[in-house]
Amino acid sequence: MEKAFKVLIFTDLDGSLLHRDTFKFDEIKDYMKELISKGIFIIPNTSKTEKEILAFNNELGTSLPYISENGAAINGLDLLNSNLPKELILSREKDNLIKIFEKSVPVNLQSKCKWLSEMNKKKQSLIFGLEDEKLKMALDRKYTIPFIFDGIKSEKNELFKVVKKKDLALQEGGRVINLTDKVNKAKALQVFVRFFKKNNKNVKTIAVGDNYNDLDMLKISDFPCLVFNDKFTLDQIPINNLITTNKPSPEGWADVVKMALVKVNKNY
């Protein structure tokens, strides 16, 4: 008998679903396909670009809807229901963002921002852990600008404050900081669910992440899941009912999702 509710799994990719160094997920590919066959929806919600996520979908062998560039764009709602839009853009384009940044951020702070687009390929590859075509896809951004901050903590805190006042944002992930519009994974999740509920009123959300830029997404989900990351201790994360594992990705992803689904089926 089909359940009266739909389960949506919003997931970060790097370090949450994909192996932190190799970016592989072979160990859990069959499990993901099993979930999809049961009518559970998996939605990548990641800082990755559209091209990177499409390559991930291709490797999985399934077309998944997705949220790219830290909440900047939603794609594939029409895959869930043909009446829903194919694409929703939530962000201004990156050229507009960089103009505001250059006009409003003090020069001394700007000088500490080392933009990846201005680095040589060797440095880009070292930072992203990618080469050739995969590196090219990671840099093909429409709405976000990645950089490394070469300054002290107080300067970085000041940069965050200045950017916030100008209705922009900085999203800090495992490898880089991204200059973004005032969007994030949590806001995009909420928009996605709002559209999805037009056809499916009863929805339960699972969110899986491993890093600071995932925490807002985890906080607003019904079942927040944290994959092991040695940057964190649990007392640093004020999220109620947090589901955790001591396994890293990709096995850790399957671990927390299984625990979350047990709770979903028990509570509803």
Residue-wise pLDDT for 188-239, tens only, equals: 999 999 999 988 889 999 999 998 889 999 999 999 999 998 877 777 788 8
Q: pTM value?
A: 0.94
Q: Where are the domains of the chain?
A: 6-89+184-267, 94-181
Q: What's 94-181's CATH class?
A: alpha beta
- Between CA 115 and CA 103 the distance in angstroms is 16
Q: What is the pLDDT of residues 74-92, one digit of tens each?
A: 999 999 889 899 999 999 9
**Banded model confidence at residue 3, pLDDT cuts 50, 70, 90:** low
Least Cα distance to 206 among 17, 2, 28 occurs for: 17
Domain 6-89+184-267 is found in CATH 3.40.50.970: no
